[in-house]
Amino acid sequence: MTSTQFLELAVSLSVQVALVIIVAHWLGRLVNSERMQCRLWTVCYVVLLSLIGAALLLPHPRLFQPWDSIGAQHTTTLVTIEMQLGQILFFVWLAGASVSLMVFFFRSFQVNRFLNTCQPLDLDEFVSEENQLDIPELTSFPSKQRLRLLTSTRLTTPFCSQFHYPYIVVPEYLLGFDRQKLNFIIRHELEHLKTGHPLQLFLQRVVEVIFWFHPMVWWASQQSSISREFACDEAAIDSPSDIVMYLQTLLTIMEYSASQAEETPTSLAFGRGKSIVAKRARRLTQIAKRKKIDRRARILGPAACFSLVMLATLIGFLWLPIDVLASSRTNWSPWPTWSASILHDFDIPARDFEVFDHRIELHELLEHQTPESIDDD
């Protein structure tokens, strides 16, 4: 891939990503379930990663070519600018993505190392039999993935994690809580595990590493984080009467967290982020007052996910013709070399002379420029 191709790829993908996130957020406002909103964000992250694969492996439509009408001198100037800009952009992106990836691995390493220092807890001891019957999810995990309940004195807020095994980690100071409050916390964390939020968070982190520069990606991360917490809050309470005790639990954890220094950057934490906790409290209060949640319309979650995939497919055809050296012979770009070579292995013909075209056209442009430069001298 040349520097001008990379510039076109980065700009086109950035526009596509912004549009897909806007569509996902809009569809999320139409579904009537916070759990479905979470699934919609999971589909959104899968779609974003698929757009990257399509951009790298498939040809792109070129519905118009704005560079045909400009002269050779201006074309040469644009090519020079695009090549320098593309090189700078590539190295800046590579540096940012490398730093983001290292931070991601370092935090994952910290969490895994922290889990090894935690003490196991007996579910029967800390969750009463009566309350276990109220939480059938405790026994719904396969035996090989049996839930592990852990505790630590170094933790300020509960969190869950799932890599090889599902974990729920509870700070030691919460073990003296009222059993009902403790079960609120466990139900909240169980909802994270049951609905695949660790997987969604992993996909979110991968998208954040690749598009570390994109403000809409970080905005989407905040929105999906709020949806996850809203869904788990609703799953943790059975009735509006539980909300008062649930809010007291959340407030106690927030007060303790504010007075202690957090040592472990945990994910899917029960009470972290003041702005998110404030939104959760306002929403729970609204539910307790039996106020209707404002929604302009309602559609089924699967229909919303299907609509997102279809609209994202159309958005994938949006390709900005920034590359001045792109061939204008057809309305489609040639196949990228790496996917075209695979097709050739299966005796499937594919036009993949993009690099060849670039060299020829750049050489022709330089030939046009050389006599003018000589005349100027």
- The answer, yes or no, to whether residue 186 has pLDDT greater than 80, is yes
Within a domain: 40: yes
Task: Please name which of 329, 243, 245 lies closest in space to residue 291, comparing C-alpha atoms.
Answer: 243
Within a domain: 161: yes
Within a domain: 355: no
Give strand pairing partners of 151. 119, 170
E strand or H helix at 38: helix 34-57
Task: Please name which of 4, 14, 100, 35 lies closest in space to residue 305, comparing C-alpha atoms.
Answer: 35
Question: Does pTM top 0.85 for this prediction?
Answer: no
Angle at the Cα of 99 from the Cα atoms of 96 and 104, rounded to 5 degrees? 125
Q: How does pLDDT run across 151-160, given as a tens digit for each residue?
A: 888 888 888 8
How many helices, marked H, and strands, marked E, lie in the chain?
A: 13, 4
Note the helical H segments in 260-377: 274-288, 301-315, 337-345, 354-376
**Number of structural domains found in the chain:** 1
- Amino acid sitting at position 83: M
Within a domain: 218: yes
Within a domain: 14: yes
Domain housing 285: 3-260+273-337
Within a domain: 361: no
Q: How does pLDDT run across 322-364, given as a tens digit for each residue?
A: 877 777 677 788 788 778 878 887 777 776 655 545 545 555 6
